[in-house]
Amino acid sequence: MPDETGYVERDGVRVYWESYGQGDRTVLLMPTWSIVHSRHWKMQIPYLARHARVVTFDGRGNGRSDKPLGVKHYVESEFVADAVAIMDAAGVERATVAGVSCGAIWSTLLAADHPDRVDGVVYIGPAVGLAPSHFDRVAYSFEDELDTDAGWAKYNRHFWAREYREFLEFFFAQCFTEPHSTKPIEDAVSWGLETTPEVLTDTARGIGLCRTSVFRQKCEQVRCPTLVIHGDEDAIRPLAQGAALAEATGGELVTIEGSGHLPSVRDPVRVNLLMRDFAGLAPRPPSRWVRGRGRKRRRALYVSSPIGLGHAQRDVAIADELRKLHPDLQIEWLAQHPVTAVLEERGEQIHPLSAELANESSHIECESAEHDLHVFGAWRRMDEILLSNFMVFHDLVRDDPYDLWIGDEAWELDYYLHENPELKTSAYVWLTDFVGWLPMPDGGEHEAFLTADYNAEMIEQIARYPRLRDRAVFVGDAADVIDERFGPDLPEIRDWTEQHYDFAGYVTGFDPAEMADRERLRRELGYGDREPVCIVTVGGSGVGEHLLRRVIEAFPAARAMVPDLRMIVVAGPRIDPASLPARDGLEVRAYVRDLYKHLAACDLAVVQGGLTTAMELTANRRPFLYFPLRHHFEQNFHVRHRLERYGAGRCMDFETDGPAEIACAIAEEIGREVSYAPVDPRGAERAAALIAELL
């Protein structure tokens, strides 16, 4: 979120701006064509704002800025005057300026006409008339009614008035020529819908300078350093235009092969690093360096997923086993809340840069509704968070050598390393307990297409760089992998996983044999020998609050059916216990240390459909009710498949099972003898052995 926001007003038009971060240097991110607003910089802002102050603004005609009608409001000079007014309002004397596409025009004018305000200019996919464009070969009129809507005939004001969304979908498909660009296309279309075809028509008419000789003269007046970043597969503005702009301004051209019109979106790691270096934001090299043979202690960086607490428990168990195999191993953690709560309790070493991570759990909670989390959609909408956190990782390992990186469902690490394989400087292990995005039935053909597209991209990455993951470890057995396809014309998930993963078995983080004496364990935890104990817990996120409330509502009826029932509701680290309803005889606790011991001692548990808690109960052979979150494909398919394989738990439906049904299920299941398949307790040991080979 921005540190400061505001508006400037010029001639009755208000323009919205934002400021992020602090520092002696400032980066001004200019607007582009008003078909989008400043969110098109979302992959740059978090990273640059950790190194400098970043100011950006919605170009007039979109976003939170005014959308006046009339060509006069959208000529090039208006955007430049807005930029100067915003620099004044934000207290910015000088800045490195960056412009994408049409933003190259305003950036050039700003540098030429206000040289005292600009330290340098970064151009990305510049839309400038310094070289022939494919537009020059398109014989369609913008102003006249056409008898075709094919292809670039859609770039026509009459078509915009009739089929504006269709134009946006066509245009942004041309902007993102890279495969697997569904998410940026969707983003851009949604931003385009925040303006109108009438406004966009005025903006198209207002951008005329780039087609005149005046612009070349302005380029010659630019005295500051310039950098042009251009994709060689740009279908909007050819690379020749970027090369001509670099020559006209005396700047440097960086060509990104295979990239389209907006490498700032599709190749953000590379663009961010280029912008950082150009703006002089790169840190100085460390003043001390140790020769490889002189590095006496082995070091590992462990990146643990923050979505819930299950990853933390299994990761510290694996870390403990690694230390047994390599007593000299120093493990540092890149992690965030709630994982850090477990790590701090265990005395683990958390790297200080963990404080710079954007919180993924908060995002997931914001995406959830009443026991409903469309986890695939939430993950897709977390793209800027994942990129921001990868850049934190990059800064951490850039000058600090490790012998090993371990990523437990560290999606950002895995994805962006495959996209930027040259950044891999250490042995790397990938851990996961599921493979394959799956569509929910009510998502229809579109969701099925999207999940298959994401799976295909992952499969292609692994095929292209099979040794980037030095070891991929599946937390489970081959039979735990769901028997489905990645998508039409894609491999079977289980077959592919068996070819590309080693199997550690499930990692419980404890030995169930240590809790076999339940009577002793119950006495230690303060439970009576004969009292029926029901534990209700929803893990480490705040997503499960609605389930807690419903089970609390069921408690009086359940207690009427089960005399002396003792129910303990564990809110976890992200739900305030005081926010939950009170009931006579009901106990509500916050975060409980060693919760797995309480689950081993209970007579029944009521949980979400998360894997960790369900498998703890399975390993300890305790009866439990579990409620998969609606639209959570992992809980509804992957986890449920695994639990059915073990014959464990009773699946409930939050949509149809109200307090009365829950009370009856509690009465039927509490204390029941179960016959689950055994869970091998050696998962952490096997995972550590697989990882240790890389040390």
| Terminal C-alpha separation, the chain | 40
Q: Is the same domain home to 267 and 384?
A: no
Residue 289 lies in a domain: no
What pLDDT score was predicted for residue 211?
61
Residue 475 CB contacts under 8 Å (≥ 6 apart), including other chains: 314, 431, 432, 433, 504, 505, 506, 507, 683, 687
Residue 198 lies in a domain: no
Question: What does the block give as tokens for 173?
Answer: 């498909």
Q: Is the same domain home to 540 and 652?
A: yes
Question: What does the block give as tokens for 507?
Answer: 């990692």
Report in angstroms the alpha-carbon separations of 219 from 213, 214, 227, 252, 497: 10, 9, 13, 14, 54
Total of domains in the chain = 3
What pLDDT score was predicted for residue 129?
85
The parts of the chain modelled with pLDDT lower than 70 are 134-139, 209-212, 308-309, 540-541
5: closest CA among 50, 46, 54? 54
Q: Could you list the residue range(s) of the whole structural domain that residue 246 is in?
A: 4-134+207-278
Q: Is the same domain home to 224 and 129?
A: yes
Q: Is the same domain home to 518 and 504?
A: no
The answer to whether the predicted template modeling score (pTM) of the entire model surpasses 0.85 is: yes
Q: Is the same domain home to 492 and 564?
A: no
CATH number of the domain within which 13 lies = 3.40.50.1820
Residue 444 lies in a domain: yes
Residue 183 lies in a domain: no
Q: Is the same domain home to 561 and 579?
A: yes
Residue 78 lies in a domain: yes
Q: Is the same domain home to 522 and 414?
A: no
Q: Is the same domain home to 106 and 220?
A: yes
Residue 284 lies in a domain: no
Q: Is the same domain home to 408 and 473?
A: yes
CATH number of the domain within which 334 lies = 3.40.50.2000
What pLDDT score was predicted for residue 310?
76
Residue 158 lies in a domain: no
What pLDDT score was predicted for residue 3?
97
How many Å apart are CA 34 and CA 63, to the nearest integer? Answer: 9
Q: Is the same domain home to 381 and 527?
A: no
Distance of CA 604 to the CA centre of its chain: 35
Q: Is the same domain home to 231 and 267?
A: yes
Q: Is the same domain home to 273 and 306?
A: no
